[in-house]
Amino acid sequence: MKLVTTPSAPDPAGPVKAMPKPTGMLQCNRCGGRTSVTVTNGTVVRNGRKIGGTVLERDVCDDCRRLGIYSPMVRPLGVVS
Ligand SMILES: [Zn+2]
């Protein structure tokens, strides 16, 4: 039996980051990544739907998060004085 390997997938980070950014798309200010994650704790699946849970992190860059770096993609609204 001949071993056949599949060709490796292209790195999605390179070509995607070089593409022009559509208006309104979230993009990391640090690395240019466009993958965001929202982390919740305590979510329950009931009747096939996710219910509840506490949002711990919202719209954080996943590429930076994998490296252990916290990089929010949306700045929190500040208090206007
Ligand atoms: Zn990033």
61 CA distance to ligand 1 centroid (A)? 5
Q: Does a structural domain hold residue 44?
A: yes
32 CA distance to ligand 1 centroid (A)? 6
Q: Does a structural domain hold residue 12?
A: no
For the chain, how many structural domains are there in total? 1
Quote the distance between the C-alpha of residue 36 and its chain's center: 2
**In the predicted model, is pLDDT for residue 7 greater than 80?**
no
71 CA distance to ligand 1 centroid (A)? 6
Q: How buried is 63 (Cβ within 10 angstroms: 0-12 exposed, 13-18 middle, 19+ buried)?
A: buried
Q: Does a structural domain hold residue 18?
A: no
Range of the domain at 65: 26-75
Q: Does a structural domain hold residue 40?
A: yes
pLDDT band, residue 20 (cuts 50/70/90)? confident
77 CA distance to ligand 1 centroid (A)? 20
Q: Does a structural domain hold residue 62?
A: yes
41 CA distance to ligand 1 centroid (A)? 22
Q: Does a structural domain hold residue 6?
A: no
Q: How does DSSP assign 11-30, residue by residue?
A: -SHHHHHHSPPPTT----TT
State pLDDT tens for residues 21-74: 888 899 998 998 999 999 999 999 999 999 999 999 999 999 999 999 999 998
Quote the distance between the C-alpha of residue 80 and its chain's center: 29
Q: Does a structural domain hold residue 39?
A: yes
Q: Does a structural domain hold residue 8?
A: no
